[in-house]
């Protein structure tokens, strides 16, 4: 291995240790406790070393956001691909979204802490677009099969995401990490009502 390759490998190792230390802080104390100083102390490097890998704390948060949306998109795709009809796909996607949110609270809080990502964010960040495209493709198909050309599939996409985000947020507020079976039934009922409204 040459000098250049070794330096690249060492740089990647330091970057990964920064992210690992940051994640440990988040898991133990929450997002509000995360700071560049805390990360530097945890990995026993100076603050400038952290800044040589990440411009600021927001860059670290963006990295975790991308990771979260990548994982969520993969789970939604798996759920979608296990079913043939749009209605079954929408139910499966809702269940997968619900389970992801409640099993990955730290990711979810960062990804959706301020609500559903704006269109500009979706178009700018590939990982967010990938997640959105999974849901949007199924809704477009469902609308096309409904024989209601006047239906705005983009509006239906926002309605679907709002149902999911709203119900997950209700579940997360002041609750332990256990899944409330009553809230799961509410999710199922809401999604079935949404699907029925699509025709």
pLDDT in tens, 85-102: 999 999 999 999 999 998
Per-range mean pLDDT, top range of 17-26, 103-112, 177-186: 17-26
Number of domain units in the chain: 2
Three-state secondary structure along the chain?
CCHHHHHHHHHHHHHHHHHHHHHHHHHHHCHHHCCHHHHHHHHCCCHHHHHHHCCCHHHHHHHHHHHHHHHHHHHHHHHHHCCCCHHHHHHHHHHHHHHHHHHCHHHHHHHHCCCCCCHHHHHHCHHHHHHHHHHHHHHHHHHHHCCCCCCCHHHHHHHHHHHHHHHHHHHHCCCCCCCCHHHHHHHHHHHHHHHHHHC
In a domain? residue 133: yes
Mean pLDDT check: name the lowest of 24-28, 113-117, 177-181: 113-117
Q: How much is the average pLDDT of 2-23? A: 89
- Is 76 within a domain? yes
Same domain flag for 70 and 48: no
Query: What does the pLDDT look like over 114-155, one tens digit per residue?
Result: 455 666 666 777 888 888 899 999 999 988 888 887 888 889
Q: For residue 68, give the CATH number of its domain.
A: 1.10.357.10
pTM above 0.75, yes or no: yes
């Amino acid at each position: 291995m040459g000098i250049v390759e070794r330096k690249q490998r060492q740089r990647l190792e330091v970057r990964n240790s920064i992210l690992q230390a940051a994640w440990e802080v988040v898991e133990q104390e929450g997002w509000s406790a995360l700071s560049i100083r805390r990360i530097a102390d945890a990995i026993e490097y100076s603050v400038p070393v952290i800044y040589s890998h990440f411009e600021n704390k927001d860059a670290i948060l963006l990295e975790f956001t991308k990771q979260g949306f990548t994982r969520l998109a993969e789970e939604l795709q798996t759920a979608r691909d296990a079913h043939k009809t749009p209605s079954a796909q929408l139910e499966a996607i809702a269940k997968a979204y619900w389970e992801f949110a409640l099993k990955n609270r730290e990711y979810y809080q960062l990804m959706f802490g301020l609500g559903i990502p704006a269109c500009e964010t979706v178009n700018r960040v590939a990982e967010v677009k990938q997640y959105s495209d999974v849901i949007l493709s199924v809704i477009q198909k469902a609308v096309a099969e409904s024989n209601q050309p006047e239906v705005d599939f983009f509006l239906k996409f926002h309605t679907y995401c709002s149902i999911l985000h709203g119900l997950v947020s209700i579940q997360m507020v002041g609750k332990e990490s256990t899944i409330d079976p009553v809230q799961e039934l509410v999710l199922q009922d809401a999604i079935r009502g949404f699907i029925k409204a699509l025709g």
